[in-house]
Amino acid sequence: MKKTDYGENEKGSLSTPLKDGFHMPGEYEPHRGCVMIWPVRPGSWPYGAEEAQQTFLEIAFAIAESEKVWMLAAPEEVEKVRDAVKQYWHTRSDNSARDIPPEGRGCLPARNIPPEGRGCLPAREEHAAKENCPVHGDDKSQSLTPPPIEVLPIETDDAWARDVGPTCVVNEDGEVRGVDWQFNAWGGVVDGLYAHWEKDNQAAAAVCKALGLSCYDAQNFVLEGGSIHSDGQGTVLVTETCLLSAGRNPRMTKTEIENTLKQYLGAEKIIWLPRGIWQDETNEHVDNICAFVRPGEVVLAWTDDETDPQWALSNASLRVLERETDARGRKLTVHKLPIPAKPVCITEEELAGFTFEEGEDIREAGERLAASYVNFYISNGAVIVPQFGDSNDALAVEIIGRLFPEREIVPVYARPVIVGGGNIHCITQQIPLGRF
């Protein structure tokens, strides 16, 4: 059995995480790090992706304050990306952009970080010697040690790490493994968003190999990381519009799809929400509409405006959540999180900066984007929350702050990401803390 390809178990039957005692943890559980991908695709990121790249760096550095970040890039882009990381770090340090207190520079405070992750960054073997640490070292005049952002030479078709990266599962002994789903650009020849996705489909296995992760081969099943959300205790959220779409697994029944999810996520119960965010081009991924904030509690994208197309979609999901229980039999507590008060739409100026290839989904000026504050990333020490320059931005930060009192809330202006079609959760994929 290859380390990166789980085929048959000791009894000779097809091995799955469930059979091997693995399950998908909650995103609020401790991480070893986070996978991201450097954005370059002209059909997703306008004007040479310059704004997108700066926003990706801002998000990466916010995450890297409490966990490692692996940034994927094409081999010919690696040195350029490394230089961009260094430049951003120096600019950020010189300008004290986030006004980080001395105890938070280079070394992590112990707050909300598991013992394995406390102390000097990063919490693993790649950490530079303590004498190079600006807090622990003898030479206090040394430049600040950058957060752990490692650039990996792995080429992809675009930058959606959530959907093309491995979904990780863990067992009670603390072992972590990856799951390599088939990726077909959110619908393949039926309604996929671009014509070629071969590199994206190879990314999960490549990441597992680079990190030394054993990997389950689930290439017979089309799925994206943004279409599933786990509470870490046997419950997984999905949407019917996505998982039952004609471009994914059309030969499988709903029951067969559910059973496959249970096998590969170690899940006991799948909660099917009917809809997601209106005009979400992923066929309405669940990570835009609903997410666990802890076992038994979820946030739901919401609007009180009955004239907004989102109202009916959110209400349909609310009705399901109100009558459902999780795998442990708990009634779910639903926290409503408003969508932006004003629809976020592509402008003529932004449209002029795209270069679309043949077979790629072409955006149109005035097109409403699937902007949602639910699309946040939970790092070991913070929650990175998208902002849109909207009147509901501050309210979203306030609500999420109440739901995560133990974490710092880091708002990031994310319009340069949403114009690509997704947001902060879509461009990140957590790797759980544990033994590889």
409 touches 385 (CB < 8 A) = yes
Residue indicated by tokens 């863990």: 170
Nearest partner of 19 among 265, 222, 252, judged by Cα: 265
Is 290 an annotated catalytic residue? no
Q: Are strands 290-294 and 382-387 parallel, antiparallel or unpaired?
A: unpaired
Choosing from 168, 242, 290, 426, the catalytic residue is 426
Each residue of 306-343: b (16+ CB within 10 Å) or e?
eeeebbebbeebbebbeebebbeeeebebeebbbbeeb
Residue 358 carries which DSSP code?
T
Q: Which residues, in sequence order, are CB contacts of 434 under 8 Å at separation 6+?
A: 32, 170, 174, 175, 176
CA distance 360 to 348: 19
Q: Given strand 290-294, what is the order of strands in its sheet?
A: 290-294, 297-302, 333-338
Cβ atoms of 130 and 136 closer than 8 Å: yes
Query: Which residues are annotated as catalytic?
Result: 426
